[in-house]
Structures are given as C-alpha cells and as structure tokens.
A = this chain, B = another copy of it.
Amino acid sequence: MTYCVAMKLQDGLVFVADSRTNAGVDNIATFRKLHLFRIPGERLIAIQSAGNLATSQAVVSLLRQRLDSERDNLHGVPTLYDAARLLGQTLREVLQRDAEDAPQGHGLDLSCSFLLGGQIRGAAPELFNLYPHGNFISATEDTPYFQIGESKYGKPILDRALTFATPLEEALRCALLSYDATIRSNLSVGLPLDLVVYPRDRLAQVSSHRIDEHDPYFQALRKGWGEGLRDLLAALPAAPADYWR
C-alpha cells in the first residue's frame, strides 16, 4: 500500500508521500513515490503515485526518458493541464503495452493512480488527481486536497482542519499528523516520508525533504499531538449518567 496527499492552497502547494511498498507483509521495501520535474525559474511539476509499482515506475521512467525528445514532454508542455494529459496518456500506453505483452494477465492488478501538481511561469498553481484510466479531476477551493492509496485513517484530520486559506506551514503539520494516524493504524504505510512545500510563484529551485524515523521535528510533532489528544479527551465532559441506565 501507499499513502500520498497533496494540497492546493491559497499560498501554494504541499505534497507528502510515504515510501513503503509491499507485496504481502513479508515483502516490504522502500521506494520513492514523489517525483519532481524542474526547470528552475520556469516550472515545477511534482508527481505522486500509488498502486502497482511496476506500472508507476514505468510511467515515470518514460516521462523522464522523453524529456529531451522531440515529442511532448513534461519540460515542454505549455500548461499543467497538458502535463496531466501527458501523464494520463503515458499511463494508458504502459497499461496497453503490458496487456499486449502478457495478454493472459495472470489476474494481476496493474492499475495505479497519480497526483500531479505544480506551477508553470505565468499561470497559477494547479493540482490534479489522475484515476487508473488516465482521466483526471482538478483541486478547487471547495476541495483543496487529494489523497491516493490508503486514505481513510488520515482523512478525518484533513476534513476537520484544512481549508483553502490554511497557511502552508500549518497545512504541512496537518498532513504530517494525517500520516501519523495512518502509520499507527496500517503497517503498509511507513517512513521515510518525502515532502515538498511549494510557496506560490516561487519557481526557484525547489527540493524535496525526507523525514525518517530519527527526524526530531516529526518525533516532537507526533509526541505533542498524541499527548495533546489524550489530555483533550480527558478534559472533555463526562457522559450523563442516564447513558447507562
């Protein structure tokens, strides 16, 4: 499994991805699921993936291989909408190729989902959620975040605390707490986490940051949140006695 979240907010974009992949609980490995395509000063495109790792790696590899080719590529497309279309087309191409190479299918689920977001100079930041068929939807002020993969454990904190107006730093904290909930409840999502916080219109060189199990900030955040939740629970009013008559 995998858990990826991305946010399109007033002040910019936030992307966080875990790095655990598993084929059964006895076959766990670490793979990066957050991929950056950058031309400093001109564009930043971040892609996150969930689902079949062979498919998502093939898609990202093809997108990277073709950066210097004549055909449409992520360094050349004029808009992020076109970048999302290119990602969808590349996904369909990989699935089609695999279906032709192994028509019997072996009952494997080769599907995967992607989030794609970023900014190209002269246009606003954008964020898209690509479904396994390669079609996609765009984040809006009403729905400023998308999740792919194991999304349920970490959704309540986002639904409670995140709005389009949430400052980037607080949104990042909210995303990290969403991961904390997910990591506690599901073994198939795990550290390290890769993250990118992108302030709107920055367009300069942007790097991803990796959080591992020794990261002092993430440790302090998890501890403060866990203790705070238990204190808050203890401070809430007791249920009336007629609740258990």
Report which A residues bind B (CB closer than 8 A): 152-153, 155-157, 159-161, 168-170, 172-174, 176-177, 181-182, 184-185, 195-199, 206-207, 209, 217, 220-221, 224-226, 228-230, 232-240, 242-245
A11 smallest CB distance to B (angstroms): 11
Q: Tell me the number of copies of this protein.
A: 2
B-chain residues with CB within 8 Å of residue A170 when the two chains form the complex: 233-234
| Cβ of A123 to closest chain B Cβ, rounded Å | 21
Given A197-B244, A236-B224, are A155 and B157 neighbors across the interface (CB < 8 Å)?
A: no
A156 with B173, Cβ < 8 A, contacts A197-B243, A217-B240, A239-B217 known:
no
Q: By CB atoms of chain B within 10 A, which of A185, A230, A240 has the most?
A: A185
Interface of A is mostly: helix
Contacts of A238 in B (CB 8 A): 169, 173
Nearest CB of chain B from residue A134's CB, rounded to whole Å? 26
* Interchain CB contact under 8 A, B233 and A177: yes
Cβ A237 vs Cβ B225 within 8 A: no
Give 12 CB contacts A-B under 8 Å.
A152-B152, A156-B182, A159-B185, A170-B234, A172-B243, A173-B233, A197-B239, A197-B244, A209-B244, A224-B236, A224-B237, A228-B236
CA distance A229 to B196 in the complex (A): 25
Residues of B within 8 A of A209 (CB): 242-245
A217 in contact with B232 (CB, 8 Å): no
Contact across chains for A229 and B198 when beta carbons are under 8 A apart:
no
Q: Which residues of B contact A153 (CB under 8 A)?
A: 152-153, 155-156
Q: Which residues of B contact A244 (CB under 8 A)?
A: 168, 172, 196-199, 206, 209
List the B residue with the shortest CB-CB distance to A197.
B244
Judging by beta carbons under 8 Å apart, are B172 and A233 in contact?
A: no
A147 to chain B, nearest CB (A): 11
Look across to chain B and name the residue whose beta carbon is closest to the beta carbon of A157.
B229
